[in-house]
Structure 1
Amino acid sequence: MPFKTTQRNWHLHAVLLALWFVFSFGIVFFARDLSGTFFSWPLAYWLTAQGALLVFIAIVVVFALVANRRSPEVFQFDSVEYGSYTASLRRRFFGFVVGLLLFLVALGVAEQYGLPKAWVAGIFLSVTLVLYAVIGVFARTADANEYYVAGRRIPGVYNGMATAADWMSAASFISLAGGLYTQGFSGSGSQPGGLAYVLGWTGGFCLVALLVAPYLRSMNLYTVPDYFRVRFGGHWPRRIAAWSAVLCSFTYVVAQLYGVGLITSRLTGVHFEIGILLALGGVLVCSFLGGMRAVTWTQVTQYVVVILAFLIPVSWLSYQQTGNPLAPLAYGQQLGKITQMEQAFAVSPQEQEVIAIYAQRAEEFKHKLADVESSLASEREELRRQLRILGDSKAPDAQVQATRKALASLPKDVNAARELWTKNWLENTEKAKALGGMAPQTRPFAGDPEGSASEQAEFSTSRANFLALMFCLMVGTAGLPHLLTRYYTTPGVAQARRSVAWSLIFITLLYLSAPALAVLVKYEVMANLVGQPFDALPAWMLQWSRDPNLLSFSDVNADGVLQFAELRVGADLVMLASPDIGGLPYVVSVLVAAGGLAAALSTADGLLLTIGNALAHDVYFEGNSNKAEAMRRVMLSKFALLVVALMAAYAAAQRPAGILYLVSASFSLAGAAFVPAMVLGIFWKRMTRAGAVAGMLAGLGTTVGYMVLNFPVLRQWFGFSEEHLWFGIQPVSAGVFGVPVGLMMAILVSLLTSPDSAEDRNLSPPLG
């Protein structure tokens, strides 16, 4: 039965959880006090960007080794047959890796001999998508066990690779390094970020390993809502869990399809919306035909593409700048140089001149906003007067056309003018700050704990937001259904523990390199671009500036030289343009785009499968397990997956908020909805069905309510005029309130209600 190892391992749990807490929340809370250096890194930066990750790996590895030694399990497969199966997998895997590398080399050689770039991109994109489709076709199945959990025979190391691909979404691949570029260590005082993502998305696996994955795997379930049926009985816990899975997974998948559209349009030149539909076909072929069996092996191949696409550019940039291709070991020396250049920019007369111009523009827009109707009317009348003067003086056509264009581009009404001018006012206000509003790379938090009252308040808010975001990402990791379902595919509990360890190892390869890439690109920009004449800027800047959301620059002070404040680098550019920045062949640029595509597709596969299964298996059929219904469940899951995929594609085509923001919101939702009831149900036998329902509804309701009150788009939609922040916490971290509310409500209601009978729960009471 499940839960039987809980008593034997509680001392191990306590020690490892204490270690996890110290190396996550402990080092972050005291980051400002951790002075000194570790080799060439500032100590706090190294502990947060690298040291903590290594400790997290040690925690899950030690737990797997010790727990598996204490509780050996009987292997459910014939050892000889399974050994032959794993040997065959190894041969196929290494054959694929070698074949991919040879394919890259061949394309690189063909490029050098004159193969057009469009052909390079088209061939690589076609081959990778066809490969994913072939796997989906060959792995097609209508068997419920294969469709939902890949037959429960995926070895831990391959499941770890599939989990890593499932986990390293478009946010990790495309936006993480860019977020670290723009946000530095911790982001600004009001907008958390930076290394909170690195700590949150790795430290959460300690909770998965210690508190969730082995116990769910021991129950032989198909979906996460299945757990709530088995543990608590009745209908409502499972229904709430199913709809919560749909909510958080849909938010997440929209972000992935947005990334798919961005990459596909960049790689092929098609429109953004067409790019979404093209790549969506690749997702559906895998998840629609073969379910988890197809998705697993597709994700293994996608992981290889993702990790090669990330490591090659960052290693090359590291070699160029430091002479060492091992970027995580070498980039520390660039941090000190960046700090010196940041200080130089802060006092540079040219930079100050640009900042003053932005401040003046911000003041002009603020003045317009004081009386929008009058300002719009006077501006329109002034342009009409200029047109009449130009016409009377027979001015050149170019000047007349420019004035007409300016008149035509004026907002059509007062509401449009207010929206546009407010946006311009905010943008120019941000640009008028030091470093164009970017946080210094190694500064732990905004403000000053020993400064003025306002600086102290800013410091407290900045640190609180960092800790809140990290908490939500960690707890959300332990509750995301598409991640937890991956551990249902292993042969047993011991393999599930090993698989969590392998997952974190494979993920950390990228998460150790992302801060390195951010630092190396920032050094390249500061040292080799800033101060260059505009007519001497590299060609890649002109190419990427076609999309102003990715890159924009202008000669604000008209001195003909690029200043740092005149350059705006979008977060999504840093990874996608890294081969161009390093001067690598175009085939590497295509590999990077294909890597981003693979990251988005692999996560979208898992998310859509989770949503389809939740709707069909947990909402419609509610787990009816006779053979006739099993086939119908699978078919309905496929249909639901198709419908949800089209809905998510439509939502992504509306170009919603940034990828990182959307993904982070889904973590708050998952953490609040699932984790309190799930963990209490595993470790506390007094937990009741009523407590689970109350905890899930209270946690999810608090989280959603806080987001509605404070997300700008949602606030405007529901007609709320002002923010209602609690303790200055941003809405992306709403789970920091939802999780404790759900936890307290679940405990309180469980204590106030009668214990559920074993028959109601369908299993004997847990031994926690």
Structure 2
Amino acid sequence: METQTLIYLFVGASFALYIGIAIWSRAGSTQDFYVAGGGVNPVVNGMATAADWMSAASFLSMAGLIAFMGYDASVYLMGWTGGFVMLALLLAPYLRKFGQYTVPDFIGTRYYSKAARVVAVICLIFISFTYIAGQMRGVGIVFSQFLQVDITMGVIIGMGIVFVYAVMGGMKGITYTQVAQYCVLIFAYMVPAFFISMMLTGNPIPQIGLGSELNDGSGMYVLQKLDNVLVELGFNQYTAGSKSTIDMFCITMALMVGTAGLPHVIVRFFTVPKASDARKSAGWALIFIALLYTTAPAVGAFGMYNFINKTDGTEYAEAESWFTNWEGADLIAWQDKNGDGVMQYRSGDAFEGKPAFTGEDGPWGERLIANPPNPDAANEVYVDRDIMVLANPEIAGLPGWVVALMAAGGLAAALSTAAGLLLVISSSISHDLLKSTFAPEISPKTELLAARIAATAAIVIAGYLGIYPPGWVAQVVAFAFGLAASSLFPAIFMGIFSKSMNREGAIAGMVSGLLFTFAYIAYFKLLEPAANIPENWLFGISPEGIGAIGMLVNFAVAIAVAKMTRPVPPEIRMLVDLIRVPRGAGSAKNH
């Protein structure tokens, strides 16, 4: 059977499965819609959390980052994994014990303030829309490449699928759909890794294969060979870092605390019956996440090794079909600068402003050939790093069914996170703004209707951003984690562990941390991108890591303001004590 036919079958079957689960688990109440009835098994919730957590960024981008950045990309592995551990140990059990539906719900109640709730909603919506625009764009790209439709149609199809199981099913439908999506995405990620590890090293376990000798007769280890080859081509050593220690530390910290403050991940721990189950589901989620995260370094290294072997020194006329396929999607391109008809992959710009790999300025939908070549650089091949995972099976020459499986896995990763983000946006609008702030008299039925309308509107906006991505979506990937780190995380952390933090301090901290981080990233990413060099950074900290400093600003301002304003009411102090009680389960606050 042809590869394209297999892709249609695999993707169609997975979509039918998702829609069927959504219809079966349709939400019938606000509790079903917001927290899946609060009775999800910890193992099931752990798997759903892993799917929610492992977005297109984890599935598609992380191994691509590792492939092209080598050691420097370890900040993403350390930051995202460490952040989830921090969330699981420090926040999740206590938030579940508190017993509310959303993060703004916790902040509004803990800080006895509608203003604090509204500030939290603003932070949440900005973070979520920044995140989801990339997810929907990823859906469009995967569709355009594998299903032979344009990106716009791919986004529209993705919107339709998400609409069914997010709007109809709510958190209940999303939870069980994400279990299926996890199974699809992890199988799609691991199978090619097993194949390629076996082909290159003779060891089918990629984590072990990464540290094994290549079976090409060279007697060299995988990373040793990569180091040598990349240095010969003008790149840095694969295993050597180029970032400063302070920048590495701050980026890792920003990713960690930003992860622990991501609302669509936090809300997953509200769906289990009791606080002890939140800890169990976090443990299971770590196991499920570790399967992909421990495999990503091997996938990145194997992908880079195969990519170099299949491009550098290969005549363009004899290039394999995978190259021309991705070339048609504008995600790889070749410019014959010396007229010899041979592809030459080196360090430097293949086209004006288009290096050997791209960072945040990906060429979505852009015709690279329109950019003039850079005659001063020896490099002739431009490649977008996000194709490495999707193209890996094709580059390695794996069977068509593996390529089809990868297509289904890529879509599952993007759709699972998009659904979780959409639910967070809709619940914050219907529950936190309407029910809890501006229209407390509405009935549960009206609230559920408002949640579905909000989810529908959010899907439309997310789809629009996916079809017509404004510049900031591609340029400020640091926004989501930086803003979560500098705004929501300190308020949640102090709300649990500090009985003396009052509403004035929390609000001042969130606003100051948010404004500081936003201004710093906006300056270097939007206003003066040419100034985005280490010499101009504050303490040598890049925009990707400034969220760590924004977090400190938040803490400092919050503590200072709290000391100068009215103390926390006794009933709130008692509430914090009840959240922290280790024994028993249930909620500190009943609905």
TM > 0.5 fold call = yes
Check 1:537–1:314 CA distance in 2 against 1; reply closer, same or farther (3 A cut).
Answer: same
Check 1:344–1:181 CA distance in 2 against 1; reply closer, same or farther (3 A cut).
Answer: closer
CA–CA distance in structure 1, aligned partners of residues 382 and 400 of structure 2: 24
CA–CA distance in structure 2, aligned partners of residues 697 and 131 of structure 1: 43
The yes-or-no answer on 1:220 pairing with 2:92 is: no
Q: Secondary structure at the match of 2:443?
A: helix
Check 1:625–1:647 CA distance in 2 against 1; reply closer, same or farther (3 A cut).
Answer: closer
CA–CA distance in structure 2, aligned partners of residues 289 and 166 of structure 1: 18
The yes-or-no answer on 1:255 pairing with 2:255 is: no
Q: Which of 151, 158, 162 in structure 2 is aligned with 1:272?
A: 151
Cα drift, residue 339 of structure 1: 4.0
**Contact 1:698 / 1:745 at 8 angstroms: preserved in 2?**
yes
- TM-score normalised to structure 2 length: 0.86
Partner of 2:416: 602
Counterparts of residues 460-499 of structure 1 (less than 5 Å)? 462-499=244-281
Code of the residue aligned with 1:763 in structure 2: it is L
The yes-or-no answer on 1:668 pairing with 2:554 is: no
Counterparts of residues 557-636 of structure 1 (less than 5 Å)? 557-565=338-346, 566-622=380-436, 629-636=443-450
Q: Secondary structure at the match of 1:440?
A: coil
Cα deviations across residues 58-105 of structure 1 (Å, max 9, x unaligned)? xxxxxxxxxxxxxxxxxxxxxxxxxxxxxxxxxxxxxxxxxxxxxxxx
Cα deviations across residues 565-611 of structure 1 (Å, max 9, x unaligned)? 23333211111111112222222212111111111100000000000
CA–CA distance in structure 2, aligned partners of residues 532 and 247 of structure 1: 45
**Contact 1:530 / 1:564 at 8 angstroms: preserved in 2?**
yes
Code of the residue aligned with 1:305 in structure 2: it is V
Check 1:591–1:627 CA distance in 2 against 1; reply closer, same or farther (3 A cut).
Answer: farther
CA–CA distance in structure 1, aligned partners of residues 165 and 398 of structure 2: 32
Partner of 2:544: 732
Partner of 2:172: 293
The yes-or-no answer on 1:510 pairing with 2:292 is: yes
**Contact 1:160 / 1:501 at 8 angstroms: preserved in 2?**
yes
Q: Secondary structure at the match of 1:686?
A: coil
Partner of 1:366: none
**Between 669-678 and 726-735, the greater mean CA deviation after superposition:** 726-735
Q: Which of 128, 131, 153 in structure 1 is aligned with 2:14?
A: 128
Check 1:166–1:155 CA distance in 2 against 1; reply closer, same or farther (3 A cut).
Answer: same
CA–CA distance in structure 2, aligned partners of residues 287 and 589 of structure 1: 28
Larger Rg: 1
CA–CA distance in structure 1, aligned partners of residues 327 and 576 of structure 2: 63
CA–CA distance in structure 1, aligned partners of residues 543 and 229 of structure 2: 35
Q: Secondary structure at the match of 1:532?
A: coil
Cα drift, residue 346 of structure 1: 4.4
Code of the residue aligned with 1:649 in structure 2: it is G
The structure with more helix, counted as a fraction of residues:
1
Check 1:223–1:587 CA distance in 2 against 1; reply closer, same or farther (3 A cut).
Answer: same
Count residues with an aligned counterpart. 539
CA–CA distance in structure 2, aligned partners of residues 339 and 665 of structure 1: 36
Counterparts of residues 415-454 of structure 1 (less than 5 Å)? 434-435=234-235, 439-443=236-240, 445-446=241-242
Partner of 1:638: 452
Partner of 1:323: 202
Code of the residue aligned with 2:41 in structure 1: it is P
**Between 625-634 and 172-181, the greater mean CA deviation after superposition:** 625-634
Code of the residue aligned with 1:747 in structure 2: it is I
CA–CA distance in structure 2, aligned partners of residues 639 and 254 of structure 1: 19
Identity of aligned residues (%): 37
CA–CA distance in structure 1, aligned partners of residues 497 and 8 of structure 2: 52
Check 1:659–1:538 CA distance in 2 against 1; reply closer, same or farther (3 A cut).
Answer: farther
Q: Secondary structure at the match of 2:149?
A: coil
Cα deviations across residues 321-365 of structure 1 (Å, max 9, x unaligned)? 111110011112358455446545645xxx6xxxxxxxxxxxxxx
Cα drift, residue 122 of structure 1: 2.3
Cα deviations across residues 450-506 of structure 1 (Å, max 9, x unaligned)? xxxxxxxxxxx5332222211111001111111000000111111100111111111
**Contact 2:227 / 2:239 at 8 angstroms: preserved in 1?**
no
Check 1:767–1:181 CA distance in 2 against 1; reply closer, same or farther (3 A cut).
Answer: closer
Check 1:571–1:634 CA distance in 2 against 1; reply closer, same or farther (3 A cut).
Answer: same
Q: Secondary structure at the match of 1:736?
A: helix
**Contact 1:687 / 1:750 at 8 angstroms: preserved in 2?**
yes
Cα RMSD after superposing both structures:
2.4
Cα drift, residue 696 of structure 1: 0.8
**Contact 1:758 / 1:765 at 8 angstroms: preserved in 2?**
no
Check 1:749–1:541 CA distance in 2 against 1; reply closer, same or farther (3 A cut).
Answer: same
Counterparts of residues 689-768 of structure 1 (less than 5 Å)? 689-712=503-526, 714-715=527-528, 725-759=537-571, 763=575
Which residues of structure 2 form unaligned runs of 5+?
A: 215-219, 347-379, 581-591
Code of the residue aligned with 2:269 in structure 1: it is Y
The yes-or-no answer on 1:519 pairing with 2:301 is: yes
CA–CA distance in structure 2, aligned partners of residues 626 and 727 of structure 1: 47
Check 1:523–1:195 CA distance in 2 against 1; reply closer, same or farther (3 A cut).
Answer: same
Partner of 1:99: none
Partner of 1:553: 334
The yes-or-no answer on 1:306 pairing with 2:185 is: yes
Q: Secondary structure at the match of 2:261?
A: coil
Cα deviations across residues 228-269 of structure 1 (Å, max 9, x unaligned)? 122111211111111111110111111111101111111211
Check 1:341–1:533 CA distance in 2 against 1; reply closer, same or farther (3 A cut).
Answer: farther
- TM-score normalised to structure 1 length: 0.67
Code of the residue aligned with 1:736 in structure 2: it is A
Cα drift, residue 211 of structure 1: 1.3
**Contact 2:479 / 2:518 at 8 angstroms: preserved in 1?**
no
Which residues of structure 1 form unaligned runs of 5+?
A: 1-110, 187-193, 352-433, 447-460
**Contact 2:223 / 2:239 at 8 angstroms: preserved in 1?**
no
**Contact 1:694 / 1:749 at 8 angstroms: preserved in 2?**
yes
Check 1:658–1:234 CA distance in 2 against 1; reply closer, same or farther (3 A cut).
Answer: closer
CA–CA distance in structure 1, aligned partners of residues 317 and 328 of structure 2: 17
Check 1:280–1:220 CA distance in 2 against 1; reply closer, same or farther (3 A cut).
Answer: same
